Structure 1
Amino acid sequence: MSWHGLRIEQVAQQADTNMSSGLTEKEAKKRFKQFGANELAVEKKPSALKQFIGQFQDFMVLVLLAATAISAMLGEYIDAIAIVAIVIMNACLGFVQERRAEKSLEALKKLSAPESFVLRDGEWKKVPSAQLVVGDIVKFTSGDRIGADVRIIEAKGLYIEESSLTGESLPVEKQTAPLAQDVALGDRTNMAFMGTLVTKGSGVGIVVGTGMNTAMGQIAHLLQSAPTMVTPLQRKLEQLGKILIVIALTLTALVVVLGVWQGHALYDMFLAGVSLAVAAIPEGLPAIVTVVLALGVQRMMKRNAIVRKLPAVETLGCASVICSDKTGTMTENQMTVTRVWTNNRLWTVSGTGYEPKGRFFYNGKEEKPDKQLQQLLLFGALCNHAEIKKKGKTYMIDGDPTEGALVVSAAKAGWTKEKIAHEFTVEHEFPFDSTRKMMTVIVKDRANRRWIVTKGAPDMLLERCRFIYINNEAKPLHEQERKTVQQTVNMLASEALRTIAIAYRPLS
């Protein structure tokens, strides 16, 4: 059903729910029993035994097993044992790697098991998202992960990051009005989808899709039903195996025919031909290939890349063109401040992710942030909603990734959340909107001095500014200075960096 095309009252009617009190516990249990848990169906894993036996299905391995049987029949037991040992070692290496990858994938799946606030019998309750059913009224706020597909019925400055579905890392502003029936998934601004993240604001919605009936469920179905592709290496090894079989059979037949024609016994010639055929098969090839691929997989693991099948690691080596985008969604959708331009100086900031540890460099030499850089980073953290959170040894951001990057960069310069809260107070805020392309706050320090601080798109701020802060002094922003700022923005953008500007003005 095209839920995005219906009015709110129609959605409630179709979902058979009460917007003021939600479902009753009895009705929720009934629907849960009827439609099942709100979980993505996971493809049944093969048993360890079946996975191990699967390692012997490669064509080259079958050729080696045939050679083993013939060697044993000819009494060449040492050769047969050596070939069996190679085949078993090859199977063990492949089996261990696949099991290790499966465990890593299982660990990733456990990361997405959120809870949701749901309205049942007129009361808000926190329940596992797996228990959500169609018709449930749910609410969500900044930092929450959406537990099911939801038609939004209330939105207060609500922005949701949908990169897992659309590939676009910029959060989408949500609203409640109905849309045209043929609107694409990425443009359904009155919907919230399972697995996406609320970066700003809050909202309430009606659950309209659970489990495999969600947009994420459709992706899971496509992944599980996708045909298994043969890698270039597997294709070449199979071709090599077929060529070797043809050569071996041809040699055997040739030796037998020529020997019998010269007067030798048929049995002796058959043994000689088979021995020659076995000798022509490279028993060590599969083992060498497996060891090399295993080493490649280990190198990929050190770079935090999981390779499920050994031959797949070779496929990357066959790539001649890699197509990527600039949204940040091909990695972890984490933003990090790496360059800062102020006072005609371009600083480089070290550190990755959201860990508030890093150093500042100017012209390749490490320096402590000067007064003007400190002030810029401080204003970036004040005009902000994001917070740094630590879970175990991992640092995360509650809020928008871009705002999170600004908070982290300020923390690297010593502006922690506690220090900022002690020194400054945000008195008023003009939130970001798509028309202004800016966010503005009024802040006050302990000496009762006030500033207006604004962050936003460089082009929008540049046309509104009349002064530029250089050497701790506000100077008129002439045409030459404007060109310098614009050239710096263009230079950073050409390096695939996202740019954001910060401006301020003292208040009386």
Structure 2
Amino acid sequence: MPTGLSDERAADLLQKFGHNELPAAARKGLLARAAAQIANPLIYVLLCSAAISALLGHAVDTAIILAVVSINAAIGMVQEGRAEQALAAIRNLISARASVRRDGRRIIIPASEVVPGDVLLLEAGDRVAADGLLIRARNMSIDESILTGESVPVSKVSSSAHEDTFAGEESLVFSGTLVAAGQGTVLVKATGIGTRLGRITTLLERVEELETPLIRQMNVFARRVTGVILAVSSLALTYAWLIGGYPLTEAFMIVVSMAVAGIPEALPAVTTITMAVGVQRMAKRHAILRRLPAIETLGCVSTICSDKTGTLTKNEMTVSRLATAGVCFQVGGVGYEPRGGFTLDGLDVDPDADPTLLQLLRAAALCNDAALRETDHGWVVDGDPLEGALLVAAIKAGLSIDNLQRSTPRLDEIPFDTAHRYMASLHRCPDGAACLYVKGAPERILDMCSRQRTADGPAAIDRAYWRKAVEQLAATGFRVIAVASKPTLEKGRLAFADVDDLVVEGLIGLIDPPREEAIAAIAQCRSAGIAVKMITGDHVGTAAAIARELGLDVRQPAVAGELIDALDDDALRRLVAEANVFARATPEHKLRLVQALQARGDVVVMTGDGVNDAPALKRADVGVAMGRNGTEAAKEAAEMVLVDDNFASIVAAVREGRAVYDNLKKVIGWTMPTNGGEAMIIVLALAFGLTLPITPVQVLWINTVTAVGLGLVLAFEPAEPDIMQRGPRAGNEQLLSGFLIWRVLLVSALFAIGAFGVFEWALHWGYGLDAARTMVVNAIVIMEIAYLFSVRYLSSTSLTLRGALGTPAVLLGVGCVSALQVAFTYVPFMNELFDTRPVPLGPGLAILAVGVALFFILELEKRVQRQYGDFIERCLAMAEPPLRGWRRSIQRSAARLRRRLG
């Protein structure tokens, strides 16, 4: 076995060849990014309005319309920069790792630090970090579809050649490909841009698109709103000019202001920012979204299917029980620190005095691919945590792992695989003989054994004793593995046929305690109406014991994988609704369980870490891969990666997904009614021949100030207190619900009443037209601020201290808008620009009272909604069919008219 590079030589080569990375994609230039922000029908309407305003000589109006467009483009560019930062964070946090041999030791390093000359160790599920030559391979096949397009994995064999030119393709591995099966040792030949993948393309030259189904839906909605507003504006222009008696230029500016008031030009950008903020918050909670649409799905998750080890538990396996023939020892110590003793019935035991105990630990340490090392932060395991725990137990017994591996070198092995559920290794013993060591699932190992180890040598196996020992250990929450051995003939390769007629060395019971935060998270799921299913490969008894400690409902007994195999799809659908614990489950079982849950209408999260988990992760509504211990195949198949492999982070992500969806509803729920209210004021004035309460340029001012200063702050709202006390929302729930339509009509009407009320009151008390209009502008802004505080809580009252204090984003937005309104009202040059006048204290207090009144009316409406919501929903449902029929009639009439017009 090659010892690999020294650390000094690896550092020199890293300096020479550079990091094992592909060039980053070139970023778009500033002008290109700015142009992309105005490629929107909403913006086109505003630009046309600005052009016509300029031709008519309305410089101020033109400037303000262009300011609206510029601010919206700036928001979009900021969002794009935030999205790029989010993607960079994702790439950094889930960067690939590689297992290499340096100075004779197996270590795990970032894939970017692999250099030519490294000895790379590959296992099933790993992504190959660099191009190289296979110098050792065992049952190895690699998925090279990323290079060849062929979906069938390619079988690989080792080569004794030392140059690529002397090796065939079957002995070469390439960067970016996936190990589908087996194990291999690779001598690295090329890294970074020098790899075959680097010569073909770079993995990062495609900029990931953040547009989601929801964003597309919002863009379609915006286009439809634009069409409606243009149609209404055309009718209003015709009415104002031909019937209302307005001059054409004045009528046009009035209609432009109405269009600007009604068009939600910032809505797509603000919606995307809301989702980007959610991505950033999830990253802080150790949940990294690889595909942004998952943020929409997280809000309606109804079932979480979670692995046990490392997700619900600490993934710090500790050997606590050792059962040999007729004896069960207790092992002290916790975690990977090799400290602790051995006891039997409470009395200390010297391992050297019990050869069966030492032989059990020796076999477990040799049939092992892990490595244990001490760091500044404590002892860590490179490799499987279970195998690392076996090494720790051997060291506690006084065995030297290095000496053991040197004196008993490995000749060949059969890697662990879920198909046969054991690992076997062939060794040359110090006396020159060969010995086979096997470890794996107890039921599988015991079936292959005919004898058992005793103090007097091998004896006939007592199957009843071993079965009872397995059941007792598993029932108390231990993960149980069996270890066996047999003397054999030394030969070149180890075959499956050699693994039979074994001698049982003993059983090993390992414990992986539950995470305290997982217990709390499961309780939170219960209150949120989310079912939690634990799916594990452990023994049924072990799974049930851990499930009880976690607080899962175990009234329905744990289901073994054999039962899943025996059930048809209909029976499995019925079972999966009642059972919460599934043991001895294979990746195929995971896939069937996901399908069964989805067939019942559940929205499913599935966790996984292995290459064989990829189908279930892809099938799930949200696949979640483990960031620390997950394979690259699992990460690629998943929508989300857990940096800390912690179940509590999944629940935090679900909570954040619900909060993001709430904030989207708040953004839309604030934008549409406030825009509608501004537009309604102008429409009513035109329709009834009234003096306009606000001028076109003042409408532009309101939209410019409030769209950014108030609408955007809702993207930063924290989750509402009761967000995890609600049940999951329906997956097909529409953002533009009947409630939102009602709220648009109600708030628009209240805005119009407030604006006209303030206007008439000001004129009645002798204030001039300009002063009255100034009061109306301030009243509209105050009402929008009041509505902002009301809409912050969708399902609960805002009349609380928390609601009144707001958040830093809300206070900053309100503060900025208030400062701008003070300048708008009292600064002389602003008075000349917008035809405004200073407002005395008395009218100012009256304007504040209008905002307060609006707030309390909306809070009263919320209370009515909470008390009579079901009745209102039924009424809306009854009204929907007639409205749908009316809409179809209009569409048919429009189609007939188009045909007649040719």
Q: Is the CA contact (8 Å cut-off) linking 2:241 and 2:248 kept in structure 1?
A: yes
Aligned match of 1:4: none
Q: Displacement, 1:232?
A: 0.9
Q: Is the CA contact (8 Å cut-off) linking 1:149 and 1:191 kept in structure 2?
A: yes
Q: Displacement, 1:406?
A: 2.5
Change (3 A) 1:239 1:49: same
In the alignment, the residues of structure 2 paired with residue 114 and residue 462 of structure 1 have an alpha-carbon distance, to the nearest angstrom, of 34
Q: Is the CA contact (8 Å cut-off) linking 1:251 and 1:276 kept in structure 2?
A: no
**Unmatched 5+ stretches in structure 1:** 1-35, 118-127, 133-137, 179-187, 359-367, 445-450, 500-508
Q: Displacement, 1:383?
A: 2.9
What per-residue deviation string (whole Å, max 9, x for no partner) do you get for residues 77-96 of structure 1?
A: 77875775455345324313
SS of the aligned residue for 2:215 comes to helix
State yes or no: 1:386 paired with 2:370: yes
Q: Is the CA contact (8 Å cut-off) linking 2:411 and 2:427 kept in structure 1?
A: yes
Aligned match of 2:230: 249
Q: Displacement, 1:285?
A: 2.5
Q: Is the CA contact (8 Å cut-off) linking 1:439 and 1:454 kept in structure 2?
A: yes
Aligned match of 2:275: 293
Residues 140-289 of structure 1 mapped to structure 2, 5 A cutoff? 140=119, 142=121, 148-152=130-134, 154-155=135-136, 174-176=157-159, 190-194=171-175, 211=193, 214=196, 224=205, 230-262=211-243, 264=245, 265-283=247-265, 285-286=267-268, 288-289=270-271
Aligned match of 2:400: 421
Aligned match of 2:447: 463
Aligned match of 1:45: 26
State yes or no: 1:406 paired with 2:386: yes
SS of the aligned residue for 1:96 comes to helix
State yes or no: 1:98 paired with 2:79: no
Aligned match of 1:365: none
Match for 1:214: what amino acid? R
Larger Rg over CA atoms:
2
In the alignment, the residues of structure 2 paired with residue 190 and residue 313 of structure 1 have an alpha-carbon distance, to the nearest angstrom, of 39
Match for 1:408: what amino acid? G
SS of the aligned residue for 1:98 comes to helix
Aligned match of 2:585: 494
In the alignment, the residues of structure 1 paired with residue 49 and residue 337 of structure 2 have an alpha-carbon distance, to the nearest angstrom, of 59
SS of the aligned residue for 1:46 comes to coil
User: Alignment identity in percent?
Assistant: 18
Change (3 A) 1:52 1:100: farther
Q: Displacement, 1:194?
A: 3.0
In the alignment, the residues of structure 2 paired with residue 282 and residue 457 of structure 1 have an alpha-carbon distance, to the nearest angstrom, of 62
Q: Is the CA contact (8 Å cut-off) linking 1:377 and 1:406 kept in structure 2?
A: no
Q: Displacement, 1:477?
A: 0.8
Change (3 A) 1:39 1:288: closer
Q: Is the CA contact (8 Å cut-off) linking 1:440 and 1:453 kept in structure 2?
A: yes
Q: Is the CA contact (8 Å cut-off) linking 1:441 and 1:454 kept in structure 2?
A: no
In the alignment, the residues of structure 2 paired with residue 79 and residue 237 of structure 1 have an alpha-carbon distance, to the nearest angstrom, of 23
Q: Is the CA contact (8 Å cut-off) linking 2:100 and 2:119 kept in structure 1?
A: no
**Unmatched 5+ stretches in structure 2:** 1-16, 104-112, 162-168, 339-345, 352-356, 475-538, 542-559, 562-581, 588-607, 611-902
What per-residue deviation string (whole Å, max 9, x for no partner) do you get for residues 36-83 of structure 1?
A: 999775354215635753662462773586499489957457787577
In the alignment, the residues of structure 2 paired with residue 308 and residue 176 of structure 1 have an alpha-carbon distance, to the nearest angstrom, of 38
Match for 2:425: what amino acid? M
Aligned match of 2:37: 56
Q: Is the CA contact (8 Å cut-off) linking 1:438 and 1:457 kept in structure 2?
A: no
Aligned match of 1:438: 424
Match for 2:371: what amino acid? E
Q: Displacement, 1:297?
A: 0.7
Larger % of helix: which?
2
In the alignment, the residues of structure 2 paired with residue 339 and residue 140 of structure 1 have an alpha-carbon distance, to the nearest angstrom, of 31
What per-residue deviation string (whole Å, max 9, x for no partner) do you get for residues 443-472 of structure 1?
A: 99xxxxxx98532465652223346899xx
Q: Is the CA contact (8 Å cut-off) linking 2:22 and 2:193 kept in structure 1?
A: yes
Q: Is the CA contact (8 Å cut-off) linking 1:388 and 1:397 kept in structure 2?
A: yes
What per-residue deviation string (whole Å, max 9, x for no partner) do you get for residues 203-253 of structure 1?
A: 669x699957636766x5577469958421231122122112211211121
Change (3 A) 1:65 1:99: farther
In the alignment, the residues of structure 1 paired with residue 449 and residue 213 of structure 2 have an alpha-carbon distance, to the nearest angstrom, of 57
Match for 2:158: what amino acid? Q
Q: Displacement, 1:98?
A: 1.4
SS of the aligned residue for 2:425 comes to strand
In the alignment, the residues of structure 2 paired with residue 394 and residue 217 of structure 1 have an alpha-carbon distance, to the nearest angstrom, of 41
Match for 1:433: what amino acid? I
Aligned match of 1:504: none
Alignment root-mean-square deviation, CA: 6.4
SS of the aligned residue for 1:53 comes to helix
Q: Displacement, 1:384?
A: 1.9
Aligned match of 2:873: none
Residues 445-456 of structure 1 mapped to structure 2, 5 A cutoff? 454-456=438-440
User: In the comparison of the two structures, how many residue pairs are matched?
Assistant: 392
Change (3 A) 1:291 1:338: farther
Change (3 A) 1:116 1:62: farther
SS of the aligned residue for 2:438 comes to strand
Q: Is the CA contact (8 Å cut-off) linking 2:119 and 2:185 kept in structure 1?
A: yes
Match for 1:175: what amino acid? S
Match for 1:406: what amino acid? L
Change (3 A) 1:43 1:294: closer
Q: Displacement, 1:287?
A: 5.5
What per-residue deviation string (whole Å, max 9, x for no partner) do you get for residues 151-209 of structure 1?
A: 54x53x6687968979x9x9x9843499xxxxxxxxx763333367999775669x699
Q: Is the CA contact (8 Å cut-off) linking 2:237 and 2:252 kept in structure 1?
A: yes
In the alignment, the residues of structure 1 paired with residue 396 and residue 199 of structure 2 have an alpha-carbon distance, to the nearest angstrom, of 39
In the alignment, the residues of structure 2 paired with residue 395 and residue 69 of structure 1 have an alpha-carbon distance, to the nearest angstrom, of 68
